[in-house]
Amino acid sequence: MFEPKVKNTQTELLMQAVLALDSEEEAYRFFEDICTIAEIKSIAQRLEVAMLLRKHVTYQEIVRRTGASSATISRVNRALTYGADGYNHVLDKMDSDSQGED
């Protein structure tokens, strides 16, 4: 069983809130209220970096496409390889959802 390192009553509330969202519009509304624009863009950038790393795109190309620093790319790569498997899980789900739409 996975035990999150950041789990406490506040993070549990946050995860419950995210899971309560029913649509993309609700997600945008929630994240615009709870995060700064810079935080949302940073999270989105890291997700794009993870997608590109899984496609074996080079660091140089990822920098060019996303504007992410090599430190950010390295951090995301480390999470993909040694992390809690969150990126891989969500990207696998997104891949299977998009294939189901074809």
C-beta separation of 56 from 73 below 8 A: no
Residue 17 pLDDT > 80: yes
Distances (CA, A) of 92 to 11, 51, 54, 71: 24, 10, 10, 24
Distances (CA, A) of 65 to 3, 7, 32, 43, 82: 34, 34, 24, 16, 24
Residue 100 pLDDT > 80: no
Residue 72 pLDDT > 60: yes
Residue 102 pLDDT > 60: no
What was the pLDDT predicted at 55? 97
The verdict on domain 37-100 having CATH code 3.40.190.10 is: no
Tokens for 80, please give them: 């993909």
Q: CATH 1.10.1270.10 occupies which residues in the chain? A: 37-100
The pTM of this model reads 0.89
Average the pLDDT over 43-68 and give the result.
Answer: 98
Nearest of 40, 57, 50 to residue 85 by alpha carbon: 50
Residue 36 pLDDT > 60: yes
What was the pLDDT predicted at 71? 97
